[in-house]
Amino acid sequence: MIRSEVLREIAPVLREALVVCNIGLPSQELHMIDDQPSNFYMLGTMGLASSIGLGLALSQPKPVVAIDGDGSVLTNFGTLPTIANNVADNFVLLIIDNGSYGSTGDQPTYAGKKTSLAKVASACGCENVVEVQGAEAAEALRTALDSGKMTVLVVKCESGNIKVPVITMDPVVIRDRFMKAVRS
Amino acid sequence: MSISKQIVADFIANDVRFVTTVPCKQLGGVIDEVEARPEIHHVPANKEDEGMGLCAGAYMGGKRSAIIMQNTALGVTINTLVTLTQFYRMPLPMLISYRGELKEPVACQVEMAVHTKALLNQLNIPTYHFHRQEDGAELDAILKYTFMCNKPVAILTDATFWGGY
Ligand SMILES: [Mg+2]
């Protein structure tokens, strides 16, 4: 499975949560597969999906899923201790780990080599860390949301991209409709 | 009331309920007060761009947020300020310790101080500089201005304002 197939699998489960989606192809793919007002698409700012997701989860009661990538977690490693030490039980950090920087042409990341993001998350103090293969992602996400416990879910999959259009929606429109979904 | 307590009281009076901080010696008293006040959810961050991400999430979750940081970190926040805070039009008060100004004992701090206002100016970020103690009286108006215009706004506080080191 590649990332877009994982997103297709988990899209029905994501509808139940507020979603903060990582920059680049992940946002473009989710937008194409199942655009929802409850999706916040990052158009820039690599690395901050988990930080935005945590701030959102700490500030309101609805469940929040931050969809991150291995490359983006590597660029903002400081996020994992912050998540571990500021527990929000309505928060799931879902890392789609394809071992590559997908949006820039599938250059390999260290997560696809010696570095285990699940082990790093555990070492940072995250208490519920789960690693699954792509085919198990939807079930694992549902379990994480139902558990009522903050969870870091690492979904391992193959690298590879599909053709997908860029998001042309204005960022203020994305933000405004998202905030209305938060309040609804 | 101490300056630190007054600053945090102004934040609370303007409904700021989520504050992220990266430590600075000058801002130690403010950070202690942020931690002490039950009205504010305090989340220490490891890096300033991470803190701005936390603030963006809190703002979209319905809580007014603010960041407390040092000017030396301005460089690492530029992409975040431009592609997140400004691009999505989010308000963000930035209470900044302005290291490298008069009374600074560490030469290296001056190297970022000379770029601080130029960078903020280049980013079109409204910038206020607290130098005399009485300058702090403008904080309430600056916070109202920030949440009126939905922009990041910088408040630089130098060593003279804090009464030296
Ligand atoms: Mg990747």
Task: Supply angle C-alpha B134, B139, B140, rounded to 5.
Answer: 120
Model confidence over A63-84: pLDDT tens digits?
Answer: 999 999 999 999 999 999 999 9
Residues with CB under 5 A from ligand 1 (ion): A 69-71, 98, 102
Question: How many whole angstroms from B161 Cα to the centroid of ligand 1?
Answer: 46
CB contact under 8 Å between B62 and A60, yes or no, is yes
What is the chain A residue with the closest CA to B77?
A45
What pLDDT is stored for residue B1 in this prediction?
83
What is the rounded CA–CA span in Å between residue B53 and residue B57?
A: 6
| pTM attached to this predicted model | 0.98
How far, CA to CA in Å, does B11 sit from each of A28, A105, B72, B81? 37, 45, 23, 21
In the predicted model, is pLDDT for residue A180 greater than 90? yes
CATH of domain B3-159: 3.40.50.970
Provide the mean pLDDT of chain A.
97
What pLDDT is stored for residue B164 in this prediction?
72
What is the chain B residue with the closest CA to A85?
B43
Per-residue pLDDT, averaged over A5-28, amounts to 97
What is the rounded CA–CA span in Å between residue A78 and residue B45?
A: 8
Q: Where are the beta strands (DSSP E) in A86-182?
A: 91-97, 100-101, 107-108, 129-133, 151-156
Sign for the CA dihedral angle at B48, A172, B154, A59 comes to negative
Per-residue pLDDT, averaged over A143-153, amounts to 98
What pLDDT is stored for residue B165 in this prediction?
56
Residues of A in contact with B84 (CB under 8 A): 42, 44-45, 48, 52
* Minimal CA separation from A40 to chain B, in Å: 10
What pLDDT is stored for residue A74 in this prediction?
98
Percent of chain A scored above 70 by pLDDT?
A: 100
Provide residues of A within 8 Å CB-CB of chain B. 20, 40, 42-45, 47-48, 50-60, 76, 78-79, 81-82, 86, 171-172, 174-175, 178-179, 182-183
Q: Which domain holds residue A30?
A: 3-183
Per-residue pLDDT, averaged over A122-140, amounts to 98
Q: Please give the structure tokens belonging to residue A22.
A: 């990582």
Residues of B in contact with A56 (CB under 8 A): 57-58, 60-61
Low-confidence stretches of chain B (pLDDT < 70) are 165
Per-residue pLDDT, averaged over A115-124, amounts to 98
Question: How many whole angstroms from B159 Cα to the centroid of ligand 1?
Answer: 44
ipTM metric = 0.98
What is the rounded CA–CA span in Å between residue B147 and residue B141?
A: 10
Domain count, chain A: 1
What pLDDT is stored for residue A67 in this prediction?
98
- Cβ pair A93, A152 in contact under 8 A: yes
Q: Please give the structure tokens belonging to residue A108.
A: 């390999």
* Minimal CA separation from B91 to chain A, in Å: 13
Sign for the CA dihedral angle at A31, A36, A39, A43 comes to positive
What is the rounded CA–CA span in Å between residue A164 and residue A78?
A: 31
What is the rounded CA–CA span in Å between residue A142 and residue A3?
A: 18
Phi/psi region, residue B61 (left: phi>0; alpha: psi -120 to 50; beta: rest), is: alpha
CATH code at position A65: 3.40.50.970
Residues of B in contact with A174 (CB under 8 A): 88
What is the identity of the amino acid at B62?
A: G
What pLDDT is stored for residue B17 in this prediction?
98
Question: How many whole angstroms from A99 Cα to the centroid of ligand 1?
Answer: 5
What is the rounded CA–CA span in Å between residue B51 and residue A116?
A: 25
* Minimal CA separation from A86 to chain B, in Å: 7
* Minimal CA separation from A176 to chain B, in Å: 9
